[in-house]
Amino acid sequence: MTDLSDRYGAVTHEVVNQPTELSDYNMFDSDAALKEALSREGAAWAVEDVSRFGALTGSAAYLELGALANKHQPELDTHDRFGRRVDQINFHPAYHTLMQTAIEEGIHSSHWTDSKPGAHVARAAKFFLQSQVEAGHGCPITMTSAAVPSLMLQPDIAAQWVPKITARSYDARNLPAEQKTGLTVGMAMTEKQGGSDVRANTTRAIAVGAEGPGQAYELVGHKYFVSAPMCDAFLVLAQSSKGLSCFLLPRWRPDGSKNPIQIQRLKRKMGNVSNASCETELRGALAWMIGQEGRGVPTIIEMVAMTRFDCMIGSSGAMRAAVSQALHHCKQRGAFGKLLVDQPLMQNVLADLVLESEAATVLTMRIARSMDNRQVPHEDLLARLITAVGKYWICKRSPGHAFEAMECIGGSGVMEDSPMPRLYREAPVNAIWEGSGNVQCLDVLRALHKTPEVLSAYFEEVGKARGMNADLDRHVQQLQTDLDQGNDLEFRARDLVDRMATGIQAALLLQHAPDFVSDAFCASRLASTGAHQYGALPRSAQVRKIIDRAMI
């Protein structure tokens, strides 16, 4: 019988004008802004290693792990088939491979264990790359890393736990910590009645014997958001007799019995779905007090500060992932007789997305250097202030950026077999957890009030670019004036923090990026007035150069 398609020449499925998959590329080598920052901020020694890692993270097989870990979402078994309580989360093997790789690469610990100057910078670069593959598993990686400074406040407990927390061994078994080769740590602060305002926590801590730091307590209460509940232990806030205190709560008791941290259900999230988050009951769960009694918030804030910095890294990485997809698509897709990348209006949009992404990368890597140099007062003050400024600004810029990149790709960008929906749904999460936008802005005000030197450090840092761009000079002067008007700071906090963020990003770009990047950034972010969408760069912007610099 004649094939009808032959008879009519009716072959309909010739695929033309469709781009290739963005894969099998070196995610690090192709990222000029990241590459430059890695060496500039103090980790030139890590270039070879991070480049090796960039080849892995850009490989098709590795990128596929990110898709699989999200397609096959974690499932909860509260009990085993015999009815015994297990609180077991079952993940797709892709998730475990991502966790294992992150831990073997030291993304959870190299900045604590490696004494080389620039260890934070090198680790930030790796986390930036890993985040572009998959964000959800980044949550336990971050929390495990961030738990270390809080635990160090209780040296006896730290001596037992930190070596296995920082070990480069991923051990996913649901067993007591003593039997495992590597441990992960989560955190449980949020309760139903209050997330931002943890002082509202009602979970009770009852001393088993003696009271005080390092002592054993039993915790009774409910935690409304606990991510990565398969972690081996959690830093938890609870009320002891002297007020809100911080505790380390193991998943299993040292005697091998199950600690009653009972998972009630997994959250149904709109993004970050590879990461299990749950509601948990603590029914007399054993925990040890960490740090001073009644000083739970200052103790756990050591952890929270590091998670906030990781939100900056993750969202900067996500922006780079989004812009890479948009550029890769537009350089291959034609419309109205030209490639999209050659259409003037698309050039304006792409260049604007690149600027946002590069500014986020530069700020994040600069603060990684501060993390490496906390013994230098200027760096310590900068880290204190800019983790709040940058967490607020970069994480908030990410959702709009992801959406605009999706639109560059058009309808295919909306489809679930594209990476864009995952990037888009992931984007708001970093802005909301670890202190939502307003909370970050209020934290900036708190820092200004408690440690006024942070502001001098900010202006000193921004002042390094004084005289390089008239718009920045004006911007800084106006910011200074507006900060000096001390009334109603709380009402104006977002406006002030927005301007602090763009001011420091501009100053860094002026010092470290090509002129065509910094000039366009200043012209569009500091000089222009009124509300704009992406793609409203002024005529002076050298969009082709900006795009070429970021092109894969």
Ligand X SMILES: Cc1cc2nc3c(=O)[nH]c(=O)nc-3n(C[C@H](O)[C@H](O)[C@H](O)COP(=O)(O)OP(=O)(O)OC[C@H]3O[C@@H](n4cnc5c(N)ncnc54)[C@H](O)[C@@H]3O)c2cc1C
- Find the binder of ligand X among 269, 283, 374, 494 (CB under 6 A): 269
439 binds ligand X (CB under 6 A): yes
| Binding segment toward ligand X, per CB under 6 A, in 192-200, 257-265, 304-312, 319-327 | 192-200
Q: Which residue from 70, 207, 62 is spatially nearest to 137, judged by alpha carbons? A: 70
**How far apart are CB 538 and ligand X at their closest, in Å?**
33
**How far apart are CB 276 and ligand X at their closest, in Å?**
10
Q: Regarding beta strands 233-240 and 185-188, do their DSSP bridges make them parallel or antiparallel, or are they unpaired?
A: parallel
**How far apart are CB 186 and ligand X at their closest, in Å?**
6
Tell me the C-alpha to C-alpha distance, in Å, between residue 304 and each of 4, 131, 220, 543: 65, 19, 23, 38
- Find the binder of ligand X among 131, 227, 299, 324 (CB under 6 A): 227
- Find the binder of ligand X among 157, 189, 303, 367 (CB under 6 A): 189
What sign has the CA pseudo-torsion 203, 91, 253, 113? negative
- Find the binder of ligand X among 67, 183, 185, 187 (CB under 6 A): 187
Q: 87-126 mask for ligand X (x: CB under 6 A)? A: ----------------------------------------
Cβ-based burial of 508 (10 A; exposed 0-12, middle 13-18, buried ≥19)? buried
Residue 274 CA to residue 282 CA, distance in Å, equals 24
**How far apart are CB 267 and ligand X at their closest, in Å?**
7
End-to-end CA distance of the chain: give it in Å, rounded: 48
Cβ count within 10 A of residue 340: 24
- Find the binder of ligand X among 277, 324, 430, 524 (CB under 6 A): 277
| Binding segment toward ligand X, per CB under 6 A, in 101-109, 153-161, 186-194, 204-212 | 186-194
- Find the binder of ligand X among 19, 149, 195, 294 (CB under 6 A): 195
Q: Which of residues 410-429 bind ligand X (CB under 6 A)?
A: 429
309 binds ligand X (CB under 6 A): no
Alpha helix ranges (H) inside 253-376: 296-330, 344-372
- Find the binder of ligand X among 97, 438, 511, 542 (CB under 6 A): 438
190 binds ligand X (CB under 6 A): yes
Residue 305 CA to residue 312 CA, distance in Å, equals 11
Q: Where are the beta strands (DSSP E) in 41-83?
A: 75-79
Return the half-sphere exposure (C-beta side, CA atoms, 13 A cut-off) of residue 537.
Answer: 29
| Binding segment toward ligand X, per CB under 6 A, in 21-29, 180-188, 302-310, 383-391 | 180-188
- Find the binder of ligand X among 272, 347, 430, 505 (CB under 6 A): 272
264 binds ligand X (CB under 6 A): no
436 binds ligand X (CB under 6 A): yes
Residue 445 CA to residue 451 CA, distance in Å, equals 10
459 binds ligand X (CB under 6 A): no
Phi, psi of 16 (to 5 degrees): -125, 160
Tell me the C-alpha to C-alpha distance, in Å, between residue 522 and each of 186, 345, 478, 515, 541: 40, 20, 15, 10, 10
Residues binding ligand X: number (CB under 6 A): 23
**How far apart are CB 431 and ligand X at their closest, in Å?**
9
Q: Which of residues 311-340 bind ligand X (CB under 6 A)?
A: none
Q: What is the DSSP letter of 337?
A: T
Footprint of ligand X (CB under 6 A): 186-190, 194-197, 225-227, 269, 272, 277, 429, 432-433, 436-439, 442
